[in-house]
């Protein structure tokens, strides 16, 4: 095995090791599908380089287009895995169509040295598409806590792209160079080593997203998506600090026990889920909704947001439409005063809620 073959072989081992590591970690991850796709892409890329390193020693020597096609499939599969990791998996059909086109073109290129630059050019296209997709998606869809790993990953991928471009340029400019094969092997080894850093940064992002997802699970009410009682008090207090004038509300579904008794607990659950989900959509992240218990909820949002009775009416309508049962909601509101604890404002809102119920329900009153 000459030097160039050893370099291809070492590169293949690195990629296959990375792929098997990700595959082993995937089952325990919340993002297992992304990691399995990423590991599959690394495995296919490693297999492509493995074929190149042993192509002269195999009983049947496969054409370069076979290994190139596997490499195309691998690098674009990695791009798809990153798309899914960042919650943007809608492009799989386009990605598969692109893979099919590039693979077919690999086999349509002229045989021998004449078609070699074109085949490597198609691989370069796949590499650059994969790198570009990963950079763009990571920069646009990352959370603030992921900024460090994302920027490192983008820098590493940028270096990867430059090296791939330099490899192709050398192939085109010096097609007959005796050192070309070794240079390609060195480049493949360098790119494989860079892929280790890219994989590590991806795992850091996965870890950050896993932590955020587990935190959401710990803080959220499973049925409605609202914050649970603990999380609401933890997040609402700092939201109010230094921001007097925010609206604070208490709301309660009217005659909720009768809804459960007459129409079943499933209807009651549907009413809570649909109604509160509509309110969360209307607040669009600019307010907090917490489930304090049963059918009782608390809210905090900015004074320039939706009017209290607008939210109450929308909640009633969404719950009624989802269940097919007329459902009403009562609400009490107040404005937070500078320096006062959250509990004091909630107490005033609760007094207004009790008045709304005493005056006939299905209304919003302010304190």
Give residue 322's domain range.
Answer: 229-366
Q: Active site residue: 56, 295, 296, 338, which one?
A: 295
User: What mean pLDDT, rounded, does the chain reach?
Assistant: 85
- In the predicted model, is pLDDT for residue 202 greater than 70? yes
Please report the pLDDT score of residue 43 as a whole number: 93
> What confidence tens digit (pLDDT) does each residue in 256-289 have?
999 988 899 999 999 999 999 999 999 988 899 9
Please report the pLDDT score of residue 331 as a whole number: 96
From residue 284, alpha-carbon distances to 130, 244, 279, 306 in Å are: 33, 21, 8, 11
Q: What are phi and psi of 203, to 5 degrees?
A: -65, -35
Q: From CA 185, how far away is CA 141, in angstroms rounded?
A: 35
Residue 224 forms part of a structural domain = no
- More confident: 104 or 344: 344
Ranked by mean pLDDT, the top range of 27-41, 124-138, 160-174 is: 27-41
> What confidence tens digit (pLDDT) does each residue in 316-343 have?
999 999 999 999 999 999 999 988 899 9
Domain limit, last residue, from 194, 218, 242: 218
- Answering whether pTM is above 0.85, one says no
Both tokens of 243, joined, read 């921001």
The number of folded domains in the chain is 2
Domain limit, last residue, from 218, 239, 265: 218
> What confidence tens digit (pLDDT) does each residue in 8-41 have?
788 889 989 999 999 998 998 888 889 999 999 9
Q: From CA 215, how far away is CA 16, in angstroms rounded?
A: 33
Domain limit, last residue, from 189, 218, 247: 218
- For the residues 210-227, what does the mean pLDDT come to? 87
User: Same domain for 204 and 185?
Assistant: yes
Both tokens of 135, joined, read 């950079």
pLDDT band at 362 (very low <50, low <70, confident <90, very high): very high
Residue 28 forms part of a structural domain = yes
Q: Is 351 a catalytic residue?
A: no
- More confident: 177 or 156: 156
Please report the pLDDT score of residue 112 as a whole number: 64
Please report the pLDDT score of residue 179 as a whole number: 60
Residue 127 forms part of a structural domain = yes
Please report the pLDDT score of residue 352 as a whole number: 95
Q: What are phi and psi of 92, to 5 degrees?
A: -65, -35
Residue 83 forms part of a structural domain = yes
């Amino acid at each position: 095995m000459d030097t160039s073959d050893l370099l291809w072989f070492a590169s293949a081992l690195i990629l296959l090791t990375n792929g098997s590591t990700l595959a082993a970690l995937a089952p325990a991850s919340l993002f297992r599908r992304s990691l399995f796709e990423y590991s599959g892409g690394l495995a296919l890329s490693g297999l492509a380089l493995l074929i190149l390193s042993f192509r002269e020693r195999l009983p049947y020597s496969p054409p370069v287009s076979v290994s190139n096609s596997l490499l195309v499939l691998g690098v674009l599969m990695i791009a798809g895995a990153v798309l899914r990791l960042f919650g943007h998996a809608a492009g799989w059909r386009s990605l598969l169509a692109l893979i099919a086109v590039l693979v077919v073109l690999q086999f349509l290129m002229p045989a021998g040295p004449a078609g070699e630059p074109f085949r490597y050019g198609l691989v370069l296209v796949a590499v650059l598409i994969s790198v570009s997709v990963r950079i763009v998606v990571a920069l646009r869809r990352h959370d603030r806590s992921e900024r460090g790993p994302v920027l490192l990953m983008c820098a590493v991928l940028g270096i990867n792209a430059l090296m791939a471009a330099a490899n192709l340029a050398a192939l085109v400019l010096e097609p007959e160079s005796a050192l070309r094969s070794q240079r390609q092997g060195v480049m493949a080894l360098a790119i494989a080593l860079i892929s280790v850093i890219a994989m590590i940064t991806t795992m850091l992002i996965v870890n950050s997203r896993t932590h955020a997802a587990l935190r959401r699970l710990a803080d959220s009410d499973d049925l409605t998506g609202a914050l649970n009682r603990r999380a609401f008090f933890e997040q609402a207090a700092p939201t109010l600090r230094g921001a007097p004038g925010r609206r604070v509300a208490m709301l309660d579904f009217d005659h909720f026990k009768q809804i459960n008794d007459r129409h079943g607990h499933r209807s009651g659950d549907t009413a809570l889920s649909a109604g509160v989900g509509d309110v969360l959509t209307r607040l669009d992240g600019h307010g907090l909704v917490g489930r304090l218990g049963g059918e009782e909820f608390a809210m905090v949002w900015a004074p320039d947001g939706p009017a209290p009775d607008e939210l109450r009416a929308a909640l009633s309508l969404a719950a009624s439409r989802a269940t097919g049962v007329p459902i009403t909601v009562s609400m009490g509101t107040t404005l937070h005063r500078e320096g006062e604890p959250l509990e004091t404002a909630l107490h005033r809102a609760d007094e207004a809620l009790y008045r709304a119920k005493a005056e006939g329900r299905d209304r919003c009153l302010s304190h």
